[in-house]
Amino acid sequence: MIENILNQMTLEEQVSLLAGADFWTTVPVERLGIPKIKVTDGPNGARGAGSLVAGVKATCFPVAIALGATWNPELVKRMGVSLAGQAKSKGASVLLAPTVNIHRSGLNGRNFECYSEDPLLTASLAVAYIQGVQSGGVAATIKHFAGNESEIERQTMSSDIDERSLREIYLLPFEQAVKKAGVMAVMSSYNRLNGTYTSEHPWLLTDVLRKEWGFDGIVMSDWFGSHSTADTVNAGLDLEMPGPSRDRGEKLVKAVHDGEVKAETVRDAARRILTLLERVGALETAPDLAESSLDLPEDRALIRQIGAEGAVLLKNEGILPLARTSLDSIAVVGPNAGVARVMGGGSAQIAAHYTVSPLQGIRAALSDANSVHHAAGCSNNRLVEVFAGDIEVEYFTGRALEGTPVHTERADKGEFFWFDLPSPDLDPANFSARITGKFVPSDSGEHIFGMTNAGLAKLSIDGKLVVNGYDGWTRGDNYFGTANSEQRQGLELEAGRSYTLTIDYCSPADTADGIHLTAIRFGVEKALGDAAIDEAVARAADCDVALVFVGREGQWDSEGLDLPDMRLPGRQEELIEKVAAVNANTVVVLQTGGPVEMPWLDKVQAVLQIWYTGQELGNAVADVLFGDAEPGGRLPQTFPKSLSDNSAITGNPLVYPGQDGHVRYDEGVFVGYRHHDSHGVEPLFPFGFGLGYTQFSWGEAKASSTVLGEDGITVTVDVTNTGARKGADVVQLYVRPLASAVLRPEKELRAFAKLELAAGETATATLTVTLRDLSFFDVAAKAFRSEAGNYELLIAANAADIRSRIAIVNPAEWLGHVTDPLSEGHSHRSEPGHAQ
C-alpha cells in the first residue's frame, strides 16, 4: 500500500510530508487520501494544541523523576496505557515522550522530566512507558537524542562525550527503546554532539540508530531544532518541526534537482512518514483532530497510587505515619503547603482538570479540618506570583495597537502563550494586544509587580508606567530563552482600593535564528517578610506536629534554564530551622525535581520527598503521611551532601556549565553513584535509598551457577515482610568487576525487582545477569566486551547497602556487536588469552 502511494506521489508531494503544517500537525496530501496527524506534548499528560498555560483540560500525571522513584515498570506501563487514551482525547496520534536524558549535574532544569542517573533504570521505565502508550495505537517519541543534559545554551552548545560513555550511559535508554519496545519515533535534541548538530548528525541518526539498532520509525527535530536542508535530510532527519517549513519545501526540491540530496533519500524519508501514519491507523481512518477533556476515575486513582509509590521517605525517627487519633492539632506551613505544585515548567506543562494542594489533602483526610493550622511562612517562587482575576484582551493587526480590535476575549490569568492566535486575521509576527485587568490588594504596603515577555511590553498602573519590558529589551531566561529576564518594580498600594492594570504588548521584531515564540507573563505580590515567618513559627509552636512543605516550583524546575545551586530558594532553610526549634515533631516534605542540600537534616524528625506528583498531589501526600499508603519510592538519583560532590561540578566551567560553546563530559562513565562509589565520596542519601513503614528480612542470595554461560545467571533472593503492615521493597543487583583492562566503576546496576508484600508474607526476587551485563564498550572493537575473569554480583537495598555477594566467573571473553538484539544477543567468545 505504502509503495503504491509513493509511486503516485510527485517529488513535491513527498517533500511536503517532511515538514509540519503548523505547530502540531503534519501536512496532508488530499489528492492521495493522506491525512494530517497531530502530535502532542507529554510526558506527564497530553496537552493537545493548546498553549502551555491554557487550552482544553487534561489529566496531569506525576513527572518522570517521580516515576523513576517508583522502580516499578509495570506501574509506568499502566500510565502509558492511560496516556494513549489521553492523547486520543486531544485528537493526537503521536505523544512527544518519554524524556530519557541522564541526571548528570543535579542542576538541569529538566531533571524532573527525566527518570534517573542510571541508564538501566531509565531504560527499563522508558520501555514500559513506550509499550503502554503504543499498545493504545499512539506513537511514542523518545527524546532528546542525544546529550541534552543541561538547558544552558542548549540550542548551540556542543556536548562533547567520548564514545564509550555515550554507548554505556547516554545512548542505552534509546537503544533499549528501539530494540525492546519498538518505539515509533525519535526526537533529536537541540544541542550539538561532538561539534555537529544532532539534527544533522549522520553517525547518530543513520549509522547508530538505523543501521546498528535497526530503527525503522521516524526521526523528528525538536521544535525549531533543525538548521539546514540537505544536511538534515542526508543525515536521517525525516520531519522538520514545527511547520510551516523553514528549510524544506522548495529548498529541498531544489536541493534534489541540484544533486545535493538524492531523490531516493527523500522517498525513504517519506516512506517512513507514511509508515508512521499506517502504524497509528491514520491511513485506514483519518483521525478526528477535535479535542475533548477526558477525566476518568481510574486515572485519578492511578495518579494517586503512583504518587505514593514514588514518595521517598528519606528520614523517619518514628514520627511517621501520623496517628490521626493522637493528634489534636497539626501545623501545615511552608510555601508549598497551600499551593498545589503539581508539575514542572516548560513544554511538559498542561492545563490540569483540577489540582489538590497538600493543605487540601490533609484537611480532607481528617475528620476535624479545624485542627489544621496553616501559614505560608515564606515564598519560593522564582517569578512574581502570576496575576489572577478577570482580564480583557484586545487584539490588533500590526505592532502599534492601532485601529479597531480584530478580536476581544476574556481570561482569568496573567499569562499568555500564543501558539495559535484567536483570529485568522492576526499574524504571529505582526500583531499587538492590550490586556486590561483590575487589582484590589487585601493589605496595604509595598507590592512587587513583575513581567517577562517574548515580544515587547509595558505594564502600567492607573495609566502610570511601572514595568518597562520594551526599552532595552534583551533575551533572558524565560520562555525557553525567547523572553527577557523578569522585570520588577515595587509600588505602595492601599488595601481595598481598585487599581487598573494595563499591558501593551507587541509581537517580537527579532527574526534571528532559533525558537520564535510570542508570550507574556505578569503578576503582583506582597513580599513576605519576617512577620510571615514569625506567624508560621507561632502556629507550629502551638501544635502537636509541624509539617513543613518546602521545595521549588515549576519556574525553577523548568525547561529553558538550569538551577543556580542545590539549596532551597528563598528563606525556606531558615523557616525549617525556626519551626524545628519550637516543635520537636517537625516533618519536612520536599517538592523538588532533583536533589537538594539539607543543612537542617539533623534538626527534624522526618523527611519525605514527594516530587511533583500530578493533580492528586495533596491526596497522595496525605495517604503517605497518615499511613493509608506506603512510601514506596527509592531514590533514582544520588543526593550529594553538597553540590561540589557531584561528578560534573569540578570548578572547570568547560565541564559544567560549558565554555565557548562546548561542555565536556570529563567524568566519562562515572556519573551519579558510579562517581560516589569509585571516588569515595559519601553521599547524603545514596542511589536506590528509601525507608518504609514496615520491616523486611532478606535471605541469602542464591545463583543458578557461578559460571556465566550463554543463558546468563539467575539470582534469587527471598524477602519476608516481618512488620505489621503491607509494604514494598526493592532488590537491586549490581555487577562489580574484580579486574579490568580499562578503568571501570566500582559497581553498576544490572537488574532490580520490586516486591509488594503483606505483613508476614515471603516472596522471591528473581534477577538475571547476561554476558552484556558484565561488559564495557570497547571503542576499538566497536563492541561490548566482557573480559574473561572474576566478578562479583552484589545484591543490595541501595548503592550503599550490600546484603549479599556472589562470586562468579566469566570463563571466556565475549564480544557483543552493536547490531545484536538485547534480549539474547549473538555470542562471540574466545578462550582466555585469545582475544578476538
Cβ of 511: how many Cβ atoms within 10 Å?
A: 8
Q: Is 218 helix (H, G, I), strand (E, B) or coil?
A: strand
| Nearest alpha carbon to residue 545 among 589, 586, 600 | 586
C-alpha to C-alpha distances, 210 to 218, 241, 819, nearest whole angstrom: 10, 20, 10
Q: Which residue in the list 41, 118, 222, 820 is annotated as catalytic?
A: 222
Tell me whether residue 299 is one of the annotated catalytic residues.
no
72, 58 contact by CB (below 8 A): no
CA distances (Å), 811 to each of 117, 421, 711, 741, 831, in order? 31, 66, 14, 16, 7
Asked whether the beta carbons of 340 and 355 are under 8 A apart, the reply is yes
Which DSSP string do the residues of 233-273 spell out, in sequence order? HHHT--BB-SSS-SSSTHHHHHHHHTTSS-HHHHHHHHHHH
The answer to whether the CB of 417 falls within 8 A of the CB of 454 is no
The pairing of strands 696-698 and 727-737 is unpaired
Could you tell me whether strands 519-525 and 445-454 are parallel, antiparallel, or unpaired per DSSP bridges?
A: antiparallel
Cell of 464: 502610570
- Rounded Cα distance, 542 and 333, in Å: 13
Chain position carrying cell 565536556: 664
* Angle of CA points 525, 531, 535, to nearest 5°: 105
Task: Quote the cell numbers at residue 745.
Answer: 566503576
Distance CA 585, CA 449 (A): 38
Q: How far apart are CA 304 and CA 296, in angstroms?
A: 13
Yes or no: say if 775 and 723 are a contact pair by the CB < 8 Å rule: no
Residue 189, Cβ neighbours under 10 Å: how many? 25
72 closest CA partner among 538, 715, 630: 630
Return the DSSP state at 823. S
Q: Supply the residues annotated as catalytic.
A: 222
